[in-house]
Amino acid sequence: AQTVTQSQPEMSVQEAETVTLSCTYDTSENNYYLFWYKQPPSRQMILVIRQEAYKQQNATENRFSVNFQKAAKSFSLKISDSQLGDTAMYFCAFKRSTNQAGTALIFGKGTTLSVSS
């Protein structure tokens, strides 16, 4: 069974600074997808960034980038130039790559990020 671990329950950062959220996972699969979702106080689940395991290049979306280390089973999220609107719970999630439709996401416990001015 796959597991996702986020070892930082809470983190805080000042506006304009850079912060890195950690995520490790355990799987025997070779092909899979990894995601970071953001859940602000509105509780909406918003996709931040995604990474395909077969791609060596780290994904980047504007101020958000990942450091994907497949051998170490690590998938950290870096937020550059932090903004107040980045305040949210961040979930790391794993999904097997399979021909079967409807395969579930497995979430970590989340990291609460607070950005202050």
Q: Which member of 8, 24, 50, 73 binds another protein (CB under 8 A)?
A: 50
Identify which range of 11-19, 22-30, 65-73, 95-103 contacts another protein by CB under 8 A. Answer: 95-103
Question: Closest approach of Cβ 34 to another protein, in Å?
Answer: 10
User: Residue 33: helix, strand or coil by DSSP?
Assistant: strand
Asked whether the beta carbons of 36 and 51 are under 8 A apart, the reply is no
Closest Cα to residue 15, out of 77, 86, 104? 86
Question: Closest approach of Cβ 100 to another protein, in Å?
Answer: 7
Distances (CA, A) of 80 to 11, 13, 60, 103: 14, 11, 11, 32
**x/- contact string, 73-92, with another protein (CB under 8 A)?**
------------------x-
